């Protein structure tokens, strides 16, 4: 078959832009850095859940959650290609750079979404699969298609999508949702706004150019600083909840208090430093620290649980 345009004329076949994507481009569509945080938090959900699960099934659940998260990333990049091509941070992503077409990314994302949910349901349990499907739907439809372009609360509500993986991991083991898994959800949910608003503070020009209503663009930088500080004050005690509720030990309690105080100090610096290069540096520092904060909280939660299990196994 030849390709013909609307006027019935032959299209230069070399003009077809598909088929250029290499394996690494498709891997980039999965947002591997976001995926690594998803894998890590989901793993914590799996390990902390009571009852235990066969390691093969745990690995299967983790794989499905990772692929589901990657599929959401691909669908996000498909829908947001117009925005991505404007922003310096995202200009080199496979679609705006022309290495993968939008429809190729869409097909890739939909296929992986279907596979990840189906395999999780078939091999682990359907409740976890339903949660994973909801997470993908929430990230792609509620956040990417709707909230991101319409409200400065986009990442506040959209943050729920990033907070679901430990809940899905927990559900893979127990087949249910519990208060403990909701606390893990709450930690990531409360962490997301100060994390992304710190990024938006030093990338607000990008978001403005792309017409994305991020908080600094809509409400101004000072209002964003106020909200970052308020969220940080709320996040710090939420981070300590696993210890207060008794499903984490003293080591976690001590680390989470110290990290929470440090988070508030970094946020306070962002709040009070409002001019020039120092303000920019403060927001970059908070952004960098926020990643470390979440990683350390979950790492200690995981490490402490594994050590406790090992010691009680010896006894």
Partner 1 sequence: MMAEDGIRLTEEQKKRRRARNIAIGLAIGALVILFYLVTIVKLGPGVVNRPL
Q: Which residues bind partner 1 (CB under 8 A)?
A: 1-3, 13-14, 16, 19-23, 26, 54, 56-57, 60, 63, 119, 123
Closest approach of partner 1 to the CB of residue 171, in Å? 18
Q: Nearest distance from residue 260's CB to partner 1, in Å? A: 40
Residue closer to partner 1, measured from CB, 108 or 298 = 108
Cα angle: 77, vertex 194, 242; to 5 degrees = 105
User: 34 or 63, CB closer to partner 1?
Assistant: 63
Nearer to partner 1, 46 or 270 (CB): 46
Please state, in angstroms and rounded to a whole number, the distance separating the CA atoms of residues 169 and 61.
7
Query: How many Å apart are CA 199 and CA 314, to the nearest integer?
Result: 46
User: Smallest gap, in angstroms, from Cβ of residue 2 to partner 1?
Assistant: 5
Beta strands in 19-93 (DSSP E): none
Smallest distance from partner 1 to CB 97, Å: 14
Please identify which residue in the block is written with the tokens 């904060």. Answer: 293
Q: What is the DSSP string of 233-284?
A: HHHHHHHHHHHHTTSS-HHHHHHHHHHHHHHHHHHHHHHH--SHHHHHHHHH
- Nearer Cβ to partner 1 (62/184): 62
Give the shortest CB-54-to-partner 1 separation in angstroms. 5
Q: Select 22 or 52, whichever has its Cβ closest to partner 1.
A: 22
How many Cα atoms sit within 13 Å of 199 on the Cβ side? 13
């Amino acid at each position: 078959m030849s390709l013909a345009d609307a006027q019935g004329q032959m299209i230069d076949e070399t003009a077809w832009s598909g088929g250029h994507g290499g394996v690494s481009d498709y891997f980039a569509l999965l947002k591997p850095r976001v995926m690594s945080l998803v894998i890590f938090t989901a793993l914590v959900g799996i390990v902390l859940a009571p009852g235990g699960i066969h390691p093969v099934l745990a690995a299967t659940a983790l794989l499905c959650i990772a692929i589901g998260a990657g599929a959401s990333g691909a669908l996000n990049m498909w829908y947001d290609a117009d925005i991505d091509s404007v922003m310096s941070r995202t200009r080199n992503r496979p679609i705006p750079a022309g290495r993968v077409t939008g429809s190729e990314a869409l097909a890739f994302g939909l296929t992986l979404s279907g596979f990840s949910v189906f395999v999780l349901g078939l091999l682990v349990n359907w409740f976890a699969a339903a949660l994973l499907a909801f997470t993908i739907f929430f990230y792609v439809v509620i956040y990417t298609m709707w909230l991101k372009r319409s409200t400065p609360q986009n990442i506040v509500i959209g943050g729920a999508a990033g907070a679901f993986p430990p809940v899905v991991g927990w559900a893979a083991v127990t087949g249910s949702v519990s208060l403990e898994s909701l606390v893990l959800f709450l930690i990531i949910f409360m962490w997301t706004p100060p994390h992304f608003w710190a990024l938006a503070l030093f990338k607000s020009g990008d978001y403005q150019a792309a017409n994305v209503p991020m908080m600094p663009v809509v409400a101004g930088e000072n209002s964003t600083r106020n909200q970052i500080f308020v969220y940080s004050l709320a996040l710090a005690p939420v981070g300590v909840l696993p210890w207060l509720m008794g499903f984490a030990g003293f080591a976690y309690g001590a680390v989470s208090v110290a990290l929470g105080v440090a988070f508030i100090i970094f946020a306070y610096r962002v709040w009070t430093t409002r001019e020039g290069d120092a303000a920019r540096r403060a927001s970059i520092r908070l952004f960098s620290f926020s990643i470390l904060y979440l990683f350390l909280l979950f790492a200690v939660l995981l490490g402490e649980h594994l050590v406790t299990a090992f010691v009680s196994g010896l006894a």
